Amino acid sequence: MYEKIKTKDDYDFLLKSGMFFEFHPELSGNWEKDKCVIADTANYTNTNTISDSIQLASTWTITNKLRWKETVEYRENGSAKFDKELQQMSISDTGEQKWEAVEFVSF
């Protein structure tokens, strides 16, 4: 949906063309408010070594205004601890983004 908008420059170019809202009426015209919507889905993986016996791997999957974090804590003895967290983003009138935990039911 936003294949042609990867950077702020792409966004501004389309905005200045006069066709921005013809193609994307759901967007606001403000890069700071729209950049997470444009990102649509992104995955970020981070691996940390906590100690010689524990390694932590976290993956955030971000879709529109939700992000899902899955964390796996690998231990030297072969065991693993899994943790999951769902967060929702809200945007204030000033364009400030805030992520808050959302309760979910796991099956």
- At residue 13, the 3 state secondary structure works out as helix
Cα–Cα distance measured from residue 98 to residue 89, given in angstroms and rounded to the nearest whole number: 5
pLDDT at 41: 47
Low-confidence ranges of the chain (pLDDT < 70): 1, 39-54, 58-64, 105-107
- Domain ranges in the chain are 1-39, 40-107
pLDDT the model gives residue 61: 65
Residue 71 is predicted with a pLDDT of 80
Q: Two tokens at 105?
A: 């039911």
pLDDT of residue 17: 94
